[in-house]
Amino acid sequence: MPRLSQLTPDTLDDSMRKAYDAILADPASEETSPEHEAVYGQATRKNRAAIAGPMNIWLRSPGLAGAASNIANFLRYKGSLSPRHTELVILIVARHWGAPYAWATHAKYGAATGVSSAVIEAIADQAEPTEMESLEILDVQIWRFATELLSTKRVTNETYNSVADQLGETKTVELVSLIGYYSMITMTLNAFEVEAPEGNPAPF
C-alpha cells in the first residue's frame, strides 16, 4: 500500500502547482534526437502530466521536484549515452533495489530500445548474461560496471578501464550519474512503497 496519496493537478497546493507547471513547460523532453523520441516520446510526456511514480512523491517538496526533473531530462533526453544503454542501466538499478514500479516502467522502455526479453529476464534473475548473443561486449562491460558499483560501492581499475576506454570521460561520468540518479529514484519508490502500475504483475 503506497504511503502517500496520489496527487492530481486539481489537488496541488500553490507551490506544488508552480513546480508542476514549470516541469510541464520545460522543453527539454521535447528537444530530443530522433533516437530518443522513438523510445520516450509521447509516453513520457503523458506520465509527467499524470504525476506518476517518484514525481508524485517529490512534488511534496516542490524545489526537489524541479531539480530532479532537470536531472532526468538531461540524462534521458540530452545525455550522450544511447537510449539502449540508458535503459539497460536503469533495469540493473531497478533490480538491484527491487523496485517494482521502476522495473515495470523501464522493462517496456528497455524492450523499445532493443534490449531482448532474454536479457530483461536475466536481469530480473540477477544473472550475468555473458553468453547471450544479443549483448555486445560493451553491454556486458557496462553491466559489470553498474553491478560492481552497486554491490561493492567501488569499481576496480579493470572494470573502470574496460568501460572508460570505449565510452570516454563524458559518457563514463554520465553512466555513473545515471546509476546514482536511478538509485535515488528506486530508494524513493521503495521507502514510500510505490507498487507496480496496475495491470503489471510483480516482477520479482
Domain count, the chain: 2
Q: Give 30-78 pLDDT, tens digit per residue.
A: 666 777 777 777 666 676 778 999 999 999 999 999 999 999 989 988 8
More confident: 132 or 101? 101
Tell me, yes or no, whether 107 and 142 share the same domain.
yes
Whether residue 55 is contained in a domain is answered as yes
Q: Pick from 44, 51, 49: which is nearest to 83 by CA?
A: 44
Tell me, yes or no, whether 59 and 93 share the same domain.
no
Distance of CA 194 to the CA centre of its chain: 15
Q: Give 165-196 pLDDT, tens digit per residue.
A: 999 999 999 999 999 999 999 999 999 999 99
DSSP characters for 28-43?
A: GGGS--HHHHHHSHHH
pLDDT at 93: 98
Burial (CB count within 10 angstroms: exposed 0-12, middle 13-18, buried 19+), residue 99: buried
pLDDT at 95: 97
Answer yes or no: are the C-beta atoms of 59 and 50 closer than 8 Å: no
Q: Give 124-154 pLDDT, tens digit per residue.
A: 999 876 656 667 889 999 999 999 999 999 9
Tell me, yes or no, whether 123 and 92 share the same domain.
yes
The pLDDT of 113-127, averaged and rounded, is 90
CATH number at 151 reads: 1.20.1290.10
Whether residue 203 is contained in a domain is answered as no
Tell me, yes or no, whether 47 and 110 share the same domain.
no
pLDDT at 17: 97
Tell me, yes or no, whether 59 and 103 share the same domain.
no
